[in-house]
Structure 1
Amino acid sequence: MAMAACTSVRALQLKLNNLSPFVPVNGKIFPNGLVRTGCRRHSMFLKAVPVVQNGVLSFNGTEALVGVPDNVVITPGSDSSAFLGAISTQSSSRHVFKLGVIEDARLLSLFRFKIWWMIPRVGNSGRDIPVETQMLLLEAREEPTSEEPNQDAKYVLFLPILDGEFRSSLQGNSADELEVCVETGDSTIIASASPKAVFVNFGDNPFELIKESMKILQKYSGTFALRETKQANAWNARLVWLVHLGCLLPRRQSSRNQRRPEKSFSHSLSEGGTPARFLIIDDGWQDTTNEFQKVGEPFIEGTQFGARLMSIKENSKFRKTANDDSSNTPHSLKDFVSDIKSTFGLKYVYAWHALMGYWGGLHPDAPGTKKYNPKLKFPLQSPGNLAHQRDIAMDSMEEYGVGTIDPDRLFEFYDDLHRYLASQEVDGVKVDVQNLPETVATGSGGRVSLTRHFQQSLEKSISNNFQDNGIICCMAQNTDSVYNSKTSSITRASDDYYPKNPTTQTLHIAAVAYNSLFFGEIVVPDWDMFYSLHDAAEFHAVARAVGGCGIYVRLVLPDGSVMRAKYPGRPSRDCLFNDPVTDGKSLMKIWNLNKLTGVLAVFNCQGAGTWPGLENSVQTNSLELAGKISPADIEYLSEISPNPGMENLQSFPSNQVYHQEIQFAPIGLINMYNSGGAVHAVEAIDDSLFPGIRIQGRGEGVFGAYSSSEPKHCSVNTTEAQFHFNSEHHFLTVDIPTGTNSWEIAAHY
């Protein structure tokens, strides 16, 4: 069964294209109680051997690139994939090679628009491909300008990868040529060739194409692991609460006058009706110093990123001194964490830190950090990064320098820090600023090797000191990090959520959805926090409900768990090559699956803002959009079939009762955004005296379902229950008592 949630600060109109939210009245009923309808049949990839002949890269006659230069080399991969690279006459630490021309093909680029973050861009030729593109998807078909999805469309995927010490990225030029940039990040590490700079694959299903390509790359490289094989973070099924202690407790505030920090959010946690079980202590708990911020002088934006870590322990806001007789000051970080866990029933508490300890790294001369032999380095960005939007954090690091940890002491630093946090009852960490090694790699083996060393040291320490794979990664959207992620299972998937900027609300939703096409195969994409009291709050909440990420409020159940969808939420197939933010006409549709239902969310993201780099683009500020939704918008519906091998499935189950056909389709808890996430099982009650339908699930509230006939009576956990039946819409609702965690509903006919 497909379920749709429509949301916008504007308006939209939907044409229901062969879709009813309920079972079709005349659907063919199969013995197993399933109703088949027309959904896509998926193939993994096509056996189309890629070749370069007469200057054309093609797959069984389908052209991907024309005008391929003679210095381009191709190495066969699987039946439909290959590696592309090129050879130069000169050795260098950075090359830009032309690969061929792209014209009249709809394309989607995922590229870094600033050093930390990616966004999407669509186009029709090579010149539309931005610098620092990390994934490129082309559509090959007869009418590339048509906006309607084509069942016979073929797709070509380009993934710039890590080739030895070279890291690759794609870009286009004004001649519509696709180029690959390969660089080591260290002027002393040079070569004249990069034969396997780009992985290319071909298929008829874009989602399977990306998935299978990542599987091939994982086997080829062995440097990263797929999301489905990683240990899941236990907290990801819990409600999340983020607390920025730097805001709650200013460093210069007198401990005699401050309130204990947990009192600042006690009302929200315990009295607000949202039983959070997971809390992140954000930036503000560490022992730092900042020589660029002088007491009494005006604050200069950016100087905060010059602060450096003095020790691995907490600062004085959490450490009572001999002269402090205030009852508001915790004795230690452990005192604080233990208190909030016991007071508010928290199960997990994480703490924030940067990859290099803090934004400005470690203080080179502090007694608490000297053992890690930090050296002051000034980051140097790639020309590709400099071609896009500047970032104040990186600009500040370039000006003030970063106290970089000696690579030989890296694991020791992480192990000391994490062992100490674990001793303070902290359960894991959120690690920020993870792209930094690419900028300080000179003299340290180059960006690929240095990033890999950071990743391996960090993940080893996490494994040694925390249970449940206790890490969230952030600012880690370069392929150096992605293709070295072996155990880290959750990563922020977009730039920050900016509550005070109305022009970025829609961009945030679209960026995460498109980025999840790439990141979702390796990690669970994290959509970032959002304000629940905000003009766009529901807009963000619905997106996270379909996003399959950590959830915040409207999916939380009485026990603090959440109804998380199964996979990363991604754009529907007909959205892949449209711009749902600035073209003035396209809807943003995001799909996912639950155990027994599909879920589709539809957004009007037009007119609020423009993508970075496209500020001068023309957009239609229409208040109203029209579009259509269909079961075909939801991929992999066959996965939720009780019978393996059934490729065509929309809704279930149905049953014949009293010699007449009773059709039934569960919706779920209708007061929750992801209603179908509450339903775990549905089956027919095979009883000649009391036949009916049995539904198992969890959570309290109102359960809703389609029923072609009115039941005679209903029960919840064997207790007779009140129900309401709308005969006009065949809509059945059953009240589930407050405090119920799991239930079994029986509807008897």
Structure 2
Amino acid sequence: MFRQEGKNTDLGHLIKSIKQTYSVKYVYVWHALAGYWGGVHPNGKETRHYESSVMFPKSSPGVEGHQIDIALEMMATNGVGLVNPNKVFQFYNDLHGRLAEAGVDGVKVDVQNILETVGAGFGGRVSLTRQYHKALESSISSNFPDNGCIACMSHNTDGLYSINQTAVVRASDDFWPRDPASHTIHIASVSYNSIFLGEFMQPDWDMFQSLHPAAEYHAAARAVGGCPIYVSDKPGQHDFKLLKKLVLPDGSILRAKLPGRPTRDSLFTDPARDGKSLLKIWNLNACTGVLGVFNCQGAGWCKQSKVNVIHTANPPPIIGVIRVHDVDWLHKIASENWDNSCAVFSHREGSLNCLNKNDALPVTLKVLEYEVFTISPILRLSSLVRFAPLGLYQMFNSGGAIVSVTYRLSTLSCEGAEDRDLTVNLSSSERSTPPVATVIVRVRGCGECGFYSSVRPKECRIGSQKIDFTYNPLNGLVSVLLLSCVENLTQEVQIVV
């Protein structure tokens, strides 16, 4: 029972109050794969029909030699009430049915790897894990039609290979707010783990706190990670300026299309220990690429103390370079006549550069510093006019706001009264009358929206209304302010160049 304004109310009233009072769309509930950390009581009045057995987890010597886990030690000492595998679907269905009836939309199922330590007597850990996951996913399908399940503590191979429909999986250890050695390691771990996990599930890079000293570092990583974004702030303790770089006013996020992965030249470096490498993480949006660069040096796992430690107290800044083809598959979102040139906008520095295929742009970062680059393939609209969308550049993943880019070319008719469409060879440099290009960019969200143009636009419009814009002739940055933003609204910006 839950107490609210002096009255006893059930879970359903609590969920209803949360959704109505705070406009929360979805509420998930945490539970362990065994029910709770200690499982299900075998002699409980309302649980004995699940025929639980008290099992004492036993991990392998290799796991114990790598890390001493206090939670596992407690379970090994006190035991885990393991539901009979033949009854576990009934258990999950009863639990999830009650939650769904109360208005819960899904569950986060934690402590999944416990099954590999209690398989004796149940046909071994593989058989036990298959039975549990089959039952879990059957119950999820029956009670949460949106496949509302997040897998956590589930990197045991038996579990990963037994999962058939669960779509979201935690990719790392926890966010540890009080452990200063953990933050650089966290970003490196989630990106490398996503190489494997991202092939068959949606990696979850865990929550963070928006007022934490490393909050901006974590937020930038989530923006390029293509992952869900969660914060675990205390009520009333929020950095809304930071959160607005991740979340639109309607509550949606500019999520990239893929799981974030290390760039090719980061695959075989050690960005946490070698003292010379930056970690680069790439992703794609509908019309742009995004590249996050992080200094993760200075901390790592200590085999002797079996904890994360800061091994270099004050490591020097590291100088690295980025190139347009750090973003893999960029050619898949570029136009057919793309010449491998890109407009590159840096989020923190606010600079805009044009890079060709083999150009390198230097970047220097201290430990726990980052930079996010929007990398946008350049459209050649004529021999003089080049254009690229950049998006809502005050947000980390600015290019995620670009939904689509189309254009039309026209010249004035002989009377000069109207435009006519032309079929043109964009590579031709011989024209009697330079064409006028109208680029139509659909943008999701609101705020400062940027574009690269090699020439000053003649005008910018939203619909039939002309809007003000600024143009920087030194770098080609066109900026317009998109004011309105309602749920699911995309605005069509027309730039005439």
Q: 1:672 to 1:428 in 2, by over 3 A?
A: same
1:738 CA displacement: 3.6
Q: 1:364 to 1:572 in 2, by over 3 A?
A: same
Q: 1:649 to 1:412 in 2, by over 3 A?
A: farther
- Quote the residue 1:33 is aligned against: none
Q: Deviations over 1:245-288 (max 9, x none)?
A: xxxxxxxxxxxxxxxxxxxxxxxxxxxxxxxxxxxxxxxxxxxx
* SS of residue paired to 2:133: helix
* SS of residue paired to 2:248: coil
Q: Is 1:683–2:416 an aligned residue pair?
A: no
- Quote the residue 1:340 is aligned against: 18
- Quote the residue 2:471 is aligned against: 725
- Quote the residue 2:270 is aligned against: 579
- Quote the residue 2:300 is aligned against: 610
- Quote the residue 2:328 is aligned against: 635
The answer to whether the 8 Å contact 1:432/1:475 transfers is yes
Q: Deviations over 1:686-726 (max 9, x none)?
A: 34346421111210001111111111210123321110001
- Quote the residue 1:380 is aligned against: 58
Q: 1:620 to 1:335 in 2, by over 3 A?
A: closer
The counterpart of 1:550, out of the listed 228, 231, 248, is 228
1:638 CA displacement: 2.3
Q: Deviations over 1:295-340 (max 9, x none)?
A: xxxxxxxxxxxxxxxxxxxxx3x2x6xxxxx624451100000111
Q: For 1:413 and 1:647, locate their aligned partners in 2 and report how far apart those are by CA, in whole Å.
A: 59
Q: Deviations over 1:427-446 (max 9, x none)?
A: 10000000011111001011
Larger deviation, residues 685-694 vs 378-387: 685-694
Q: Deviations over 1:23-57 (max 9, x none)?
A: xxxxxxxxxxxxxxxxxxxxxxxxxxxxxxxxxxx
Q: Is 1:398–2:76 an aligned residue pair?
A: yes
Q: For 1:593 and 1:580, locate their aligned partners in 2 and report how far apart those are by CA, in whole Å.
A: 22
The counterpart of 2:212, out of the listed 508, 511, 534, is 534
The counterpart of 1:455, out of the listed 130, 133, 136, is 133
- Quote the residue 1:711 is aligned against: 457
Give the unaligned 5+ runs of structure 1.
Answer: 1-315, 321-325
* SS of residue paired to 1:561: coil
- Quote the residue 2:440 is aligned against: 694
Specify the code of the residue in structure 1 equivalent to 2:120: T
What TM-score do the two structures reach when normalised by structure 1? 0.55
- Quote the residue 1:506 is aligned against: 184
The counterpart of 1:622, out of the listed 292, 308, 315, is 315
Q: How many residue pairs align between the two structures?
A: 422
Larger deviation, residues 683-692 vs 460-469: 683-692
The counterpart of 1:363, out of the listed 36, 41, 48, is 41
1:557 CA displacement: 1.4
* SS of residue paired to 2:87: helix
What TM-score do the two structures reach when normalised by structure 2? 0.81
- Quote the residue 2:361 is aligned against: none
The answer to whether the 8 Å contact 2:107/2:149 transfers is yes
Q: For 1:394 and 1:583, locate their aligned partners in 2 and report how far apart those are by CA, in whole Å.
A: 32
Alignment RMSD: 2.0
Specify the code of the residue in structure 1 equivalent to 2:446: E
The answer to whether the 8 Å contact 1:482/1:522 transfers is no
Give the unaligned 5+ runs of structure 2.
Answer: 231-242, 343-376, 412-418, 420-435
1:619 CA displacement: 4.8
Q: 1:436 to 1:388 in 2, by over 3 A?
A: same
Q: 1:514 to 1:471 in 2, by over 3 A?
A: same
Q: For 2:46 and 2:378, locate their aligned partners in 1 and report how far apart those are by CA, in whole Å.
A: 62
1:747 CA displacement: 0.9
Q: For 1:462 and 1:708, locate their aligned partners in 2 and report how far apart those are by CA, in whole Å.
A: 53
Specify the code of the residue in structure 2 equivalent to 1:654: R
> What percentage of aligned pairs have identical amino acids?
47
The answer to whether the 8 Å contact 1:641/1:649 transfers is no
> Mapping of 1:77-476 within 5 angstroms?
316=1, 318=2, 327-476=5-154
* SS of residue paired to 1:502: coil
Q: For 1:328 and 1:718, locate their aligned partners in 2 and report how far apart those are by CA, in whole Å.
A: 56
- Quote the residue 2:494 is aligned against: 746
* SS of residue paired to 1:704: strand
Q: For 1:406 and 1:549, locate their aligned partners in 2 and report how far apart those are by CA, in whole Å.
A: 35
Structure 1: 4+ residue segments shifted above 4 A = 614-620, 645-650
Q: 1:448 to 1:422 in 2, by over 3 A?
A: same
* SS of residue paired to 1:475: coil
- Quote the residue 2:289 is aligned against: 598
Q: For 1:642 and 1:464, locate their aligned partners in 2 and report how far apart those are by CA, in whole Å.
A: 44
The answer to whether the 8 Å contact 1:637/1:647 transfers is no
Q: Deviations over 1:656-682 (max 9, x none)?
A: 2xxx52111111100110000000111
Q: 1:491 to 1:433 in 2, by over 3 A?
A: same
Q: For 2:106 and 2:274, locate their aligned partners in 1 and report how far apart those are by CA, in whole Å.
A: 42
- Quote the residue 1:562 is aligned against: 253
The counterpart of 1:481, out of the listed 155, 159, 165, is 159
1:639 CA displacement: 2.1
The answer to whether the 8 Å contact 1:585/1:620 transfers is no
The counterpart of 2:380, out of the listed 628, 650, 654, is 654
